[in-house]
Amino acid sequence: MLASVDPYGWPHPALLSDAEVIALDATRLRLGLHPESRSVRHLRDSGRATLVFADAATLYVKAEALALPGAPGHPELARFELVVQDVLEDRSEGEEAGGRLKGGLEIEWPAGLDPVARRRRLREALLA
């Protein structure tokens, strides 16, 4: 999940697929979002983002968001580089100690969409 900040100071959540975020190294991530989305406007305006990774561990990655030029041949993609400022781990404590995520979100893609080809196309555009 991506959380940005709207003009009124409210958190704005957005679900991302694994194809829309890629780690470049230990301190930089690349995002590819629909150019007309509210998340894109918020990232450009505030320059800040928090990514939530929820799996065996739950991590909150706070980052500065830098807008990048569009990828050649991919006008459907707004690109950002996130520079990690802090990483927080959410740990269960007290009576919740030992609790963990048991399931997660599962995407059902529309008929005719090839998710493997989509992932490959987005990865190439993000790294361009």
Structural domains for the chain? 2-91+102-127 (2.30.110.10)
The reported pLDDT for the residue numbered 107 is 82
The reported pLDDT for the residue numbered 60 is 96
Q: How many other CB atoms are found less than 10 A from the CB of residue 126?
A: 23
Query: Is the distance from CB of 60 to CB of 11 less than 8 angstroms?
Result: no
Across residues 32-53, what is the average pLDDT? 95
Q: What is the per-residue pLDDT across 52-111, written as a single tens digit (0 to 9) for each? A: 998 878 999 999 999 999 888 888 899 999 999 999 999 888 888 888 888 778 888 888
Question: pTM of the predicted model, to two decimals?
Answer: 0.86
Instruction: Return the bridge partners of 29, or none.
Output: 23, 82
Q: What is the per-residue pLDDT across 94-121, written as a single tens digit (0 to 9) for each? A: 888 888 888 778 888 888 888 888 889 8
The reported pLDDT for the residue numbered 5 is 94
Cα radius of gyration rounded to whole Å, the chain? 16
